[in-house]
Structure 1
Amino acid sequence: METPLQLYDPRDGDVALKVASLPGGLDLAQTLRFNYFTAVWVQEGCGTFWADLGRYDFEAGSLLFFVPYQSFRLLPETPARGLVIQFHANFLCIETHHAEVGCNGVLFNDVYGVPLVRLNAGHEGEFLGIVDSMRGELEASGLAHSEVLLSYLKIFLVKAARLKLEQQGRLQPAAIKRPPVLDELKRLIEEHYRAEHSPGYYAQQLHLAPKSLAKLVKKHFHKTLTELIRDCVLRQAKWELLHTLKPVKQIAAEVGFQDELYFSRLFKRATGCAPSFFREFETSIRGGQNVWVR
């Protein structure tokens, strides 16, 4: 069943930044999809969550991150309580402000990593102070309201990105650290995903049996190699749709699909909407500021 898409639209009076409590801020009974960036701070509880087709575990003290138009679901084994922060690219575009915030490819749009940061007791106090400041500013709505909120959000994301970079590779037991061949796989995918969509191509380049590579990818990336390649294709396609004026047919061809209709079906299954709707709706509510004309 297709995941319902819950859209932010300022023309309906929606706000571009939200801070809410968990579970009240999210309906944990269903799979969710927004055109917001979403950060979920699980302060109590544990269980499993899905980000698209990737399956991961979470526990108390976890920060989970989801990109716009991505389907996700939390399945708590024990009652989950915490906080939810959502913001639209109108408020902070992590691509435009990547040099300032540094979370693009770390917290968001990292197709190879686990979209999770672990917080210890010391971190929790620091992050709770930032969230409390955000809530206070949302209630006060004083002079330079948006600028103050934007500053708090950037601090939150920068600190989370720093933590994740520190934790990558450090929290994994030596027995299950990522094999070097997977770093070579990442390099090959980033170089060739626009033209090569077949898992067999990458297995051949790495001199591995397809089944052996498939097991490694599933164990360490929590998804299949086909899904990994698809996520790279979609990441690039969304960027091109948002930030260029290229026709959909041209974008499809540039990421390896000569059949525009097939590409459009793939895109809709992954995002909940057609490429043309994605571009037109997001460009409309951003006032065209997302398009970088060269």
Structure 2
Amino acid sequence: MNKVFSETGNVLLGLDHPEDNKLVSPSQFSEYTILVITEGEGTFHADFASFAFAAPVILFSTPQQSIYIKETKAVKYAMLQFHSDFYCIEYHRNEVACNGLLFNNIYMEPSLKLAPEELGSYMQLVSQISDEFQQPDPSDIVLRAYLQLFLAKSSSIKIKSIEKQKVFKNDKMDLFKQLLEENFLTLHKPSDYASLLAMTPNNFTKQCTRRFNKTPSLLIQERLILEAKKQLHLTRLSIKEIAFGLMFQDEYYFSRLFKKMTKISPQAFRNTTGISIVADLSISKHY
């Protein structure tokens, strides 16, 4: 595996072409992980969610997500990983627009289906990154530029694919998504949202699962954890301050839920992902 390390020994950028599937069992990485699937098919599991895929496709995961691939037909892939210390997607959101689209979106599958010709252009990019790694003194500037191009290209294709998709239309679930974004700090029970939507709990659960492939309970918890990850990574607030800001009665209950959902404690998450440069800037208020 080709890697660029920080002065403290952390992987900043890595590229691997494993001969066999390395993700047959759940794995967690401190880096953002991108899998360019060139052959095969199977099911991609990310935390509590899962979905089927078939090559060619790109799969995306965020730091410390528990991910693995269950193959139904042998897969081959290139694995590109980067740490936020190497490339901060929040800081560069205007250039690549991938935060909340390719990463950190609980409502969409973290995947990008490719046409054969698109796969070719991506593999050319991967090859260019690999070639730069082979230089006597690989350039961080060049590698960062290739990564930014990779992410910007992916965001552009993803936006176009969303516009073309005939998503199952459901006004109630569109409203639920809006209500969840507005009230996730204060409303933590599916019954709260079922009441607001004037739906029975059973019908609400059925329609939510059909639309998002997740239960209302899971979506509510994921939205809270997504906000917690944001605060841990993008601010210097203490864990106690973050817990109270998320309306938890105490930091211990918050920590237990966070670890239940992510398999890692809030402090360990912050230690491994680091605190973004955005924490010391006022350029961004949203994740």
TM-score by length of 2: 0.90
Q: Mark the runs of 5 or more structure 2 residues left unpaired by the alignment.
A: 283-287
Q: Does 1:111 align with 2:106?
A: yes
Amino acid at match of 1:206: L
Aligned equivalent of 2:158? 164
Question: In 2 relative to 1, CA 18–129 (structure 1 residues): closer, same or farther, beyond 3 Å?
Answer: same
Question: In 2 relative to 1, CA 11–134 (structure 1 residues): closer, same or farther, beyond 3 Å?
Answer: same
Q: Does 1:19 align with 2:42?
A: no
Amino acid at match of 1:210: P
Deviates more, 1:263-272 or 1:192-201: 263-272
Aligned equivalent of 2:67? 72
Question: In 2 relative to 1, CA 260–17 (structure 1 residues): closer, same or farther, beyond 3 Å?
Answer: same
Aligned pairs, number: 279
Equivalent residues in 2 for 1:122-271 (5 A)? 122-142=117-137, 145-168=139-162, 170-172=164-166, 177-271=168-262
**Residue deviations 1:135-167, cap 9 Å, x none?**
111111547x00111111111111111111111
Please, what is the CA RMSD of the aligned residues?
A: 2.1
Distance 1:71 1:213 in 2: 28
Contact kept? 1:70, 1:270, Cα under 8 Å = no
Aligned equivalent of 2:97? 102
Aligned equivalent of 1:292? 280
Give the deviation of 1:171 after TM superposition: 3.7
Question: In 2 relative to 1, CA 228–260 (structure 1 residues): closer, same or farther, beyond 3 Å?
Answer: same
Q: Mark the runs of 5 or more structure 1 residues left unpaired by the alignment.
A: 1-7
Question: In 2 relative to 1, CA 136–259 (structure 1 residues): closer, same or farther, beyond 3 Å?
Answer: same
Contact kept? 2:83, 2:273, Cα under 8 Å = no
Aligned equivalent of 2:285? none
Distance 1:169 1:209 in 2: 31
Amino acid at match of 2:225: L
Q: Does 1:56 align with 2:51?
A: yes
What is the identity percentage for the equivalent residue pairs of Structure 1 and Structure 2? Answer: 32
Contact kept? 2:32, 2:83, Cα under 8 Å = yes
Amino acid at match of 1:133: Q
